[in-house]
Amino acid sequence: MKSFNINRRHFLKGATATFMLGALSTQGMDFFDLQKTWRVALIGTGWYGKSDLFKLIQVAPVEIVALCDVDKNLLTEAGKLVSQRQKSGKTPRLYNNYQKMLSENELDIVLIGSPDHWHALQCIDAIKAGAHVYVQKPISVDVMEGEAMVAAARKYKRTVQVGLQRRSTPHLIEAKKNIVEAGLLGKISHVEMFCYYHMRNNSHPSIQTIPDYLDYELWTGPAPLRPYDGLPHRGWWRAFMEYGNGIMGDMCVHMLDAVRWTLGLGWPTKISSSGGIYVFKEGKSNIADTQSAIFEFDNLTAVWQHRAWGSPVDPEYPWGFKIYGEKGVLSGSPYQYDFVPHEKGNKIHKDVAYEREKYPEDLKEKDIELHTAPATRGQMLNFLKSIEEGSKPVADIEEGHISTASCILANLAMKTGRTLRYDPNKRVVMNDDEATQLLTRSYRGSWVHPHPDIL
């Protein structure tokens, strides 16, 4: 195992530095004293894959030795960008097939930024190849994939961090410590989570010829093969349940995970949900444009709602959460938090911390989410620290699995029209054989679905 040591004399830059719970903040970090450079590869060189990779390059000495993508244009562009970013100036080896990449390179770390339907197979194969893995959320498209990913990480003793970076968001860390843990909310029994972004692709493109630079068969992999109707990148593939779990799996997973982390919650005891395509019926998309879900914990309910239409209930919080306590309310989002006491006490507000001056290259990154950059850097630092110490990272694969699977179960509850109770020890939905069968999706062709007991 590669090892590094942080020169802690240079860790803080005064009282404004932020501690991340179990993590290392990028704020105040001067340099690393490392024994060895990390050998890194990225699978999926689209928007967020590159963004994650660039944040890792910023905070640690790494050599990006390989990139993989089924789109030659994206792959070539990513190779050039990485050569400009990394210290060596080298262009990584470029691959169409991730399995070939894993077999031909000795890798310390693999980042996975591919579409959701590929996460499980690529993560497990990278683990088996000996790499530690940073995988984007949601970790899987069905519950058994997630169970297999957790089992693989534990069996092969690899560190797996999930891109649920609210756990490394400085202002939310502060809210957790100074509001929740300080007792300003008092007893907490209700949470609301929501997303009102108009983010659903409602178009109806015609069937097209597959471009020669895209391996559409390999892009589809284990998922059902849809007729090709345009490049699937970014918003288009997310419009289909074949490749993900809709807005529930894309956006609720962030807020549910943030709430679980903030309040120290584990698995929900039961999950119910309703919704469907109520407004946008003309397009091809088959994900719900309207959905509500209830995640029940002991003495607490967490309610989710998304609408891909209309206006947000609170214009200041179009995507976020509200934690209701007997003494006040805490609202949180990637951009800010607000605490409002019921009676005595002062209101508290905190905005997201940007790092434009410290990392000016952020301003040159196409489509960057500037507000999430500090959190992603913190997530990467925590990942490396956990590898060195052999400890679990802040967004360990098991935590990512609980949050992901809970959202998948909400979709299954909506599909079946029943309240579901998942038993993670027996890996079944209690007293519901039909729902238990839905925990595993069918794979296409010769692709083999992973199983937690057969790795």
d(CA 102, CA 110): 9
* 390, amino acid identity: G
> In degrees, to the nearest 5, what angle opens at C-alpha 313 toward C-alphas 309 and 317?
95
Tokens 């089924």 locate to 70
Backbone angles phi, psi at 154, to 5 degrees: -75, -40
| pLDDT score of 373 | 96
- pLDDT tens column, 94-151: 999 999 999 999 999 999 999 999 999 999 999 999 999 999 999 999 999 999 999 9
Q: Is 367 left (phi over 0), alpha (psi -120 to 50) or beta?
A: left
Give, in order, the Cα–Cα distances in Å from 143 to each of 140, 212, 299, 419. Answer: 7, 35, 25, 16
Looking at the chain, the domain(s) classified CATH 3.30.360.10 span 170-362+401-437
d(CA 34, CA 38): 9
The arrangement of strands across the sheet holding 109-112 comes to 93-95, 62-68, 38-43, 109-112, 132-135, 160-162
End-to-end CA, the chain: 22
Fold of 170-362+401-437: Dihydrodipicolinate Reductase; domain 2 (3.30.360)
| pLDDT score of 6 | 34
| pLDDT score of 235 | 87
Looking at the chain, the domain(s) classified CATH 3.40.50.720 span 4-167+368-396
Low-confidence stretches of the chain (pLDDT beneath 50):
1-33
* 72, amino acid identity: K
- Chain-centroid distance of CA 420 in Å reads 24
| pLDDT score of 24 | 43
Here the tokens at position 358 are 């410290």
Rg (CA), the chain: 21
| pLDDT score of 35 | 62
Tokens 């591919």 locate to 114
- Chain-centroid distance of CA 407 in Å reads 13
pTM, rounded to two decimals: 0.92
Dihedral, CA atoms, 369, 371, 375, 380, nearest 10 degrees?
A: 30
> CB pairs under 8 A, 24+ apart, for 210-219?
213/71, 213/72, 213/73, 214/70, 214/71, 214/72, 215/70, 215/71, 215/96, 216/70, 218/70, 218/96, 218/97, 219/70, 219/71, 219/115
Task: Decide yes or no: CATH 3.40.50.720 for domain 4-167+368-396.
Answer: yes
Determine if the peptide bond prior to 138 is cis (ω within 30°).
yes
| pLDDT score of 15 | 30
| pLDDT score of 20 | 37
Tokens 């559409």 locate to 216
